[in-house]
A and B are shown apart, each in its own frame.
Chain A
Amino acid sequence: MTVTGNEIIHQYLRHNKKFPHVLCAGCGHGIVLGTLIRSVHQLQIPKDDVVIVAGIGCSGRLAVYVDFNTVHTTHGRALTFATGIKMANPKLNVICIMGDGDALSIGGNHMIHAARRNIGVTALVLNNNIYGMTGGQSSPATPAGSVSMTAPFGQLEKSFDTVELAKGAGANFVARGTVFHVRKLEKLMVTAIERPGFNMLEIITPCHTQFGRKNKYKTPVDMYKWLKSNAMDIERYNEIEEGKRGDKFPIGTFIERDQPGLEERYYKLKADLRKARKEG
């Protein structure tokens, strides 16, 4: 008997949580949550072993609907809570859900250091190029030239490259996907969850309500079409000449290292120290 996608999702939703959810129709965040559920299901990780740690923003609200251990933290600080949880109990699969404002602006420093220390956490950065929940102000990922509530005359600052940041800081695994390319996203997410160390997956997800409307994408469909025609596998992207890339951006895996997570190194050190002490 084949199990449908819906049936899988239903196994993981909270029966005692009052629905409907807070997301706008057409928001990409729901697709991310669906993908997350399917990824965990595919990996056959018991619900009790999964901890979702979320920041604050529309993305942060995802945690409340799913039947895992869920912690909705403070704005920008999800990775710090996740670090404490993972160090306290390395057996847990700790997955962080953050918005682009959350992860790159207020939480930028934590992102750098989580990657540097290679803590065994999966970081999902839901990049919708805008502060969704607070009503459409510029985020570090807002593209130069586009309009926001706090850049009514066009964003002057250059937008931030999440992938380059995570790579530079030393993350084990760095990838980017979009909510349009769901199958590919699921593959990337499965890898990001199952690998040890710090794994950062940036997910391009449209916020039609706060970003699209003001920036010539009148409907959610326009935004998905934009994703469809501009996201491109990294190999193909690299073949295009620098000046001719336009709005195109690469998706796929950017780096795959295989360093043990901090928690693994710490517990090994502990075991060695304690053994040496007993023998000595």
Chain B
Amino acid sequence: MARPKKHKEIFAQGNEAVVEGALMAGCSFYGGYPITPSSEIMEIMANRLPLTKDGVFIQLEDEIASMGAVVGASLAGRKAMTATSGPGFSLKQENLGYACMAEAPLVLVNVMRGGPSTGLPTSPAQGDVQQARWGTHGDHPIIVLSASDVQECLEMTITAFNLAEKYRTPVILLLDEITAHTREKIKIPHPHEYEVVSRIVPTMPPEWYKPFEETVRGVAPMPPIGSGYRFHVTGLTHDVNGFPTSRPDEVVDHMERLHRKIDQFFYDIQIVEERQTEDAEVVVVAYGSVARSAEFAIQQAREAGVKAGLLKLKTLFPYPRRATEKILGQAKRLIVPEMNMGQMSREVKRVNCGRASVRTINRFDGQIITPSEILKVIMQG
């Protein structure tokens, strides 16, 4: 048997790793508008995509246009992506909702910076967590992922594309400035080490095809525009054929399917990582770069004889409820450190229902949360 080939290793920034991951997942369309601290994603795409076989790169006049173009490209059959930061994320929200409604798979990266408004342009923050969940109008499910180091940036970008394609939905990847700009050595996986999922295209005769039909998986196959399946796509509430409807029974069917297609596959979508939680009496729930500080802090706590553990959230929404419930049964204390005034701790408290004590650590001054800050709270008992 041939010896396994050594991994290619590169020294990269989180934003660069996002591009690597996207290209590995088959991304062939990028439309964007520059904004710190996400601009490197766009700049590297501008260099890379024209050299790939089908790759298309376009810089648009604003974030609204970028989001429109990415939805258009997705409907035309491309794996499409855009990246931005807080103010741009807000501008993308209307067309993000459109993508939910039209079930257009795409990946939207938001490298968060301090807010509100133009806020702290170059400082890290995690202030857009609830914007990612609820930013666009109306009731809709959404998949929001995060990454805490550069290797994870690559891996979670691939995951984001896969989930988008599988569930015909936009997927948001939330990064913070620290993760996006940290440089470290990462391994490029071999092609057999990761899965690449592409949307299912219809095989039935075009006249049988219903673009928004209920299926076992909740999503209908999706042909690229121009391939012989002519149908209507709209942001209006529509029937299985895509035609606008306000008939209550059709509205209900449509809304229920939109939610069900995400909710019923929670085991596939809700990704978490646990560190030393088996016997933990105090568990830190963290995501993004803060999870790295937390990991260091629980190690130090263990050395000091405290049974501490970490629940790292890689999926933020749908909120990994089961993973939290498991810990609530056993740990007496939960600590939720985050670089905002308490956006994810809401979810933890919602699930907790008073079973454990929940402490939050909140920084919103554009500064990193250090391991010692977390350690201090762990040791406070």
Contacts and interface: CB of A to CB of B under 8 A. Distances in A.
A48 B60 CA distance: 27
Nearest to B61: A113
Contacts, number: 140
Contacts of A81: 68-69, 71-72, 75
Contacts of B72: 53, 71, 80-85, 88
Given A72-B236, A73-B68, A277-B51, A83 B58 contact: yes
B219 interface: no
A85 B75 contact: yes
B62 to A, nearest CB: 7
A89 interface: yes
**Binding site of A, secondary structure by majority: helix, strand, loop or mixed?**
helix
A23 to B, nearest CB: 14
B69 A269 contact: no
How many residues of A sit at the interface, in one of the four size bands?
A: 35 or more
A88 B57 CA distance: 10
A270 B230 contact: no
Nearest to A106: B64
Interface string B266-308: 0000000000000000000000000000000000000000000
B163 to A, nearest CB: 21
A156 to B, nearest CB: 28
Contacts of B60: 80, 83, 113
A161 to B, nearest CB: 21
Given A84-B68, A110-B65, A70 B232 contact: yes
Contacts of B202: none
Given A74-B95, A110-B61, A113-B61, A85 B76 contact: yes
A236 interface: no
Given A18-B243, A83-B58, A85-B225, A64 B51 contact: no
Interface in A74-123: 74, 77, 79-85, 87-89, 91-92, 109-110, 112-113
Given A48-B228, A74-B94, A84 B69 contact: yes
Interface string B68-100: 111111111110100000000000001100100
A154 B236 CA distance: 34
B50 interface: yes
A273 B73 contact: no
A70 B77 CA distance: 15
A277 B69 CA distance: 28
A51 B68 contact: no
B230 A87 contact: no
A217 interface: no
Nearest to A274: B51
Interface of A: 14, 16-18, 47-49, 51, 53, 63-64, 67-74, 77, 79-85, 87-89, 91-92, 109-110, 112-113, 266, 269-270, 273-274, 277
Interface of B: 29, 31, 50-51, 53, 55-56, 58, 60-62, 64-78, 80, 94-95, 98, 224-228, 230-236, 241, 243-244
